């Protein structure tokens, strides 16, 4: 059970948690579509926590889109969040191809460490919310609490990690209801 009173930062994976994911990658701002309830949920979280995103964006390394297109996606997300009274305090992303051997790609914990350093918090003050096995492993590697949402790849991930004791929630919106 997560003690939310000790938490200062919530880190969210992007694709599958905030917006709909695609096996063909989200390659444009037009393809970036929020999951129902996710943006109001972020706005509600803003009232109590710093909110950051840690997202693997290997579509850049694969040549499907570039960092300017990623910026357009994040601008769309920011504008839609502002309409809900919300915001993202910081975004970390890994642009590398999985074969590049970088230090920032989840499940390595570098993105989470950078976020913690930015907000001057320890792993004990962080919760990572994701939908994939690499998100779970990243949280384990960093040493913070983790919540698996069943949107995106969440149901498949739950099957893969069935033997693990993992906090799960139907969606980001449902998680926020449970925190209150």
- Residues annotated as part of the active site: 13, 15
3-class secondary-structure state, position 13: coil
Give the whole-angstrom CA distance, residue 92 versus residue 112: 8
Q: State which H helix or E strand residue 117 sits in.
A: helix 110-119
Helix %, strand %, coil % for the chain, to 5?
Answer: 40, 20, 40
As a whole number of angstroms, the distance between CA 99 and CA 156 comes to 23
The three-state secondary structure class of 154 is: helix
User: Cα separation of 17 and 42, whole Å?
Assistant: 11
CA distance 178 to 129: 14
Provide the 10 A C-beta neighbour count for residue 84: 16
């Amino acid at each position: 059970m997560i003690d939310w009173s000790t938490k200062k930062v919530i880190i969210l994976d992007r694709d599958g948690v905030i917006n709909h994911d695609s096996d063909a990658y989200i390659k444009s701002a037009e393809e970036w579509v929020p999951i129902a309830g996710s943006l109001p949920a972020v706005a509600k979280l803003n009232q109590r926590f710093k909110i950051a995103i840690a997202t693997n964006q290997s579509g850049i390394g694969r040549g499907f889109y570039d960092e300017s297109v990623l910026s357009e996606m994040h601008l769309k997300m920011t504008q839609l969040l502002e309409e809900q009274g919300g915001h993202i305090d910081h975004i970390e992303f890994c642009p590398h191809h999985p074969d590049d051997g970088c230090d920032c790609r989840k499940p390595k914990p570098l993105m989470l460490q950078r976020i913690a350093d930015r907000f001057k918090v320890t792993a004990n003050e962080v919760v990572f919310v994701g939908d994939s096995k690499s998100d779970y492993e990243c949280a384990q590697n960093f040493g913070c609490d983790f919540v698996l949402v069943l949107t995106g790849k969440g149901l498949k991930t739950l099957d893969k990690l069935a033997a693990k004791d993992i906090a799960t929630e139907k969606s980001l919106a449902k998680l926020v209801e449970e925190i209150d």
